[in-house]
Structures are given as structure tokens and as C-alpha cells.
Amino acid sequence: MAILHAGIATFLRAPYVPPERSALREAGATAAVIGLPFDSTTVTRPGASHGPRALRDASSHFAFGENYHYDHGVTYSDHVALVDCGDIDPVAGNAARTFERAVVVLDEIYAAGCFPILLGGDHATTIPGAAALSRHTSGRMGFVMFDTHLDTAPEIDGETLGHCSPVARVLELPNVDGSNVVIIGVHGAANPRLEQEVADEHGVTVFTIRDVDRLGIDEVATRAIEIASSGTETTYLSVDIDVLDGAFAWGTCGPEIGGMTGRELVRGLEIVASGPIGAADCVEVSPFLDHSGNTARVGARVVVDIIALRALQIERAGAIERTAASA
């Protein structure tokens, strides 16, 4: 077997294909990783702009030739034609122009019929990510976020496009209703009262870490995807790596003690990402704050699991179709 970390870093060693619909179609791509190396909205510890590169490097740990995921019993390359579209070119210090560029790139990915996975960047990554999915959804859209923080701040010092505000911006999308928005894992001393009031006002469902303890992650995750998918066409999935206890992932902007365990996140994703997910992101990996590389490796595993679960859905749908055809 070749050395796993050799060669140019793309996610899971997927081929690089520029984010243009013609190139993606020619490559036969069905899923596309795209980075957004931007953290100019971070209010505490910076560094997440280096997240996309770190996630790609870390993904080499999982880049075995057979692309088999043991937990799910699926060879994801049999069902998902993954490509890496590189990074969206950010405008330093300008969130609005950066996000405009992001939506244009994501439009190309959707036009090619690909499932996009964004690598952040700070959590403002979700703002263009969800906006792009909304543009390509004819019906209502749901939203599920794993996060220690509520991220419903209307603005921070007048700035509306920030990593404290992705849920607030999602709630403004024309085809999103708060009754289909769910946040999992909230806890700690960095959630202002105003942000809970915003969530309450819009009917957002918040499962705190105490709910995870009390109900169990299976119940929480099952309720979450049921709520997000009720009456909706598709759902956007966002994973902020700080949802994990700081002992598991300390290389992030705002780590907290008392968060989810790695096992809880893996199981929660297994349930949520098995639902009708139309796009996903993994954000807030700040590699310079974790010299061990552990947080980036955890983030890469999150993305690998999302890919594997999408493959499993496709495999199961194909089996159902074959059974129906033979009946």
C-alpha cells in the first residue's frame, strides 16, 4: 500500500476538478468538496481559514484504496463519485463579497447535479452554503446544526455576516421556517440570553447537551431529522467541531468543556445524515490551535461519515428499486 500522506492533498485523494458545471459533468462527479478558507468574522480565536487545508491533509488517514467504511458496511466510492473542487477565493476582510463568490461557485456545483460539502472556515461558511441550497430548492428547506453555541445573533457590532449569526441568516431565507430548524448540543457560558430569545421567537428546536444526556443521542438525533424534514424538500446539515467537548477537539475558535463525546457525534451523524440532506458543511477547525492535528482529523472523519452515509442511502435506494422491479 502506498504511503497515505504522499501526493497533492485533496480530500480522500479525490481528483481535483474545477467548480464549473461542464468540468464536473465531464468528470461524472456526484459529490464535490469545496473549501472556504475564511475566518474574518471570528470574534475570539482565529485560524479557521486554515481549516480546509488541514481537513484535506487529515483525510489522508482514511484514504485507503477500497474506500470502505466499516461502521456502515459500505464502499462509498461504489455509489458516490467524489471530486475536490479546491477552494473558493475569499476577499480578505470582506464577508459580503466572499459569500457572493461562494454562492456563484455553489450554483455551478448544483447545476452539475453534485452534492456539495463545504470545508470551513469559520461558521459564517454556513451563510452562503445554506443560501445556495435554498436557491436550488423549490419547496421548504430544513436545517440541522451540531453546535455548542446557538449562533442566532442578529448581528455583532452591526455586522450581520458573522460566525455568531449563521442561524439568524438561515431563518431569513424565504423557504425556511423556524419550525424546521434544529440545533443539537448547546451548552456552556457563551450563549447570550438574546440568542435564546431569537430561537424561541422563531420556534427553533434546541436540544441542549443536557437533553442529550437525558434522552440519549439516538432519541435527540431522530427527533431532529424528523423535525427538519417535516414538510420540507431537503435539509442543510452543519457541523461545528466545537460541539465536541474540548477534550476531543480543542483546535477550534470557542472550545468548551462538557460538550458531546466523539461517540455521540458519530452516532448523531449516523442518524441525521441518513435523512434527506441536500448539502453539508464542517466548520471551525483551527489547526494552529491544535499542534497534534487531532481536531483536523476529527473534522475529516465527520466529512468521511457524511460521504459514507450518502453512499449508503444510494445503495439502499438502488436495492429497493431492484426489488420493486423484480416483483
* Interacting residues of 175 by C-beta distance below 8 A, sequence separation 6+: 134, 137, 139, 140, 141
pLDDT digits (tens, 9 = 90+) for 161-192: 999 999 999 999 999 999 999 999 999 999 99
Lowest mean pLDDT among 32-46, 55-69, 184-198, 310-324: 310-324
pLDDT digits (tens, 9 = 90+) for 75-92: 999 999 999 999 999 999
All three cell numbers of 291, joined, read 499542534
User: Looking at the predicted structure, is the pLDDT value of residue 109 above 70?
Assistant: yes
Q: Are 168 and 154 in contact (CB under 8 A)?
A: yes
pLDDT digits (tens, 9 = 90+) for 132-157: 999 999 999 999 999 999 999 999 99
Query: DSSP states of 112-163 as a string?
Result: TTPEEEEEESSGGGHHHHHHHHHHT-SS-EEEEEE-SS----S-BTTB-SST
DSSP 215: H
Separation of alpha carbons 313 and 115, rounded Å? 13
The pLDDT value given to residue 40: 94
Query: What is the average per-residue pLDDT within 233-262?
Result: 97
**11-326 placed in CATH 3.40.800.10:** yes
SS3 call for 161: coil
Separation of alpha carbons 63 and 301, rounded Å? 11
Q: How confident is the model at residue 3 (pLDDT cuts 50, 70, 90)?
A: low
Distances (CA, A) of 164 to 28, 61, 210, 249, 319: 37, 31, 22, 19, 42
| Beta-carbon count within 10 A of 147 CB | 25
User: Looking at the predicted structure, is the pLDDT value of residue 2 above 70?
Assistant: no
| Beta-carbon count within 10 A of 100 CB | 13
Separation of alpha carbons 325 and 327, rounded Å? 6
The pLDDT value given to residue 4: 67
Cα-to-chain-centroid distance, residue 21? 22
Q: Give the global pTM.
A: 0.97
pLDDT digits (tens, 9 = 90+) for 30-58: 999 999 999 999 998 999 999 999 999 99
User: Looking at the predicted structure, is the pLDDT value of residue 327 above 70?
Assistant: no
